[in-house]
Amino acid sequence: MLLLFGAWQLSVPLVGMSSYFYPAPADVFAAFVDLVRKGILPVYLADSVLRYLTGMVAGATLGIAAGVLIGVHRTAALALSPLLKFLFAIVEVAWIPIFVVWFGYGIETIVLALIYVVFFPVLYNTLLGVRTAPQILVNAVRSLGASRADVLRLVILPSALPGIITGLRLGAGFAFRGLVFAEMVAAKTGIGYLIFEGAQSQQTARTIVGMIVMGLLWLAIDQFYLRPIERATIQTWGLTVDAAERT
């Protein structure tokens, strides 16, 4: 990382462009300090994180619920599959203008766009996990007198967990990209808006600050939350080789 910044700084005199076209790391650092001093970056960061978390939690909850429902219920699968396939084809970018018309610029529009982005990867990975639950285990639990709820709790959900976690990771990544785009189009605050507005107002260094903050935020989310939760969930509940060996 330091090498990258060093090379970047050294390349500035070689490129010989103005800081508007090619800001040096020192310009970007100055822009970062300025944004913090003026209270802009903390507010934008907090707004982005709040929107991201809200969209992620709501989208993941709906995706998991729909995935399990479609996976275990044949009628629900028949009824919902065509609609879901139709909606899956319409990318969230196409929905944002409609959401802006309905809800205006702000958190509702962005959260709805994020729910849409998160919902499908979570749904399809959950569905895959549910449908690939070992039938032998389902039969074994049933033969012991388990109810449908017991089968779901004891076999299907633990088997589906690796799929659910994969879906959550995919959804988390897609939501992050969706957040930047949605904030560029439908917000007046947030890191996506900072990136967009910086470029619009010829403050390229601010745009790069926004991009770096976005990258660091994703690294932090992945390192401190997604990876440990993935590891813990699969080890504790998932039907992995490790788990099977322990029992």
Residues within the interface to another protein (CB under 8 A): 37-40, 43, 188-189, 220, 224-225, 228-229, 231-232, 235-236
Tell the smallest beta-carbon distance from residue 58 to another protein (Å).
20
Tell the smallest beta-carbon distance from residue 97 to another protein (Å).
23
Say how far apart CA 54 and CA 36 lie, in whole Å.
24
- Tell me which residue has tokens 């399990």: 68
Extract the tokens encoding 48: 């982005």
Nearer to another protein, 102 or 224 (CB): 224
Amino acid at 63: G
Nearer to another protein, 108 or 141 (CB): 108
Tell the smallest beta-carbon distance from residue 37 to another protein (Å).
7
Amino acid at 230: E
Tell the smallest beta-carbon distance from residue 178 to another protein (Å).
23
Nearer to another protein, 39 or 82 (CB): 39
Extract the tokens encoding 168: 């959550």
Cα three-residue angle 33-39-44, rounded to 5 degrees? 100
Nearer to another protein, 88 or 225 (CB): 225
DSSP string computed for 136-160: HHHHHHHHTT--HHHHIIIIIHHHH
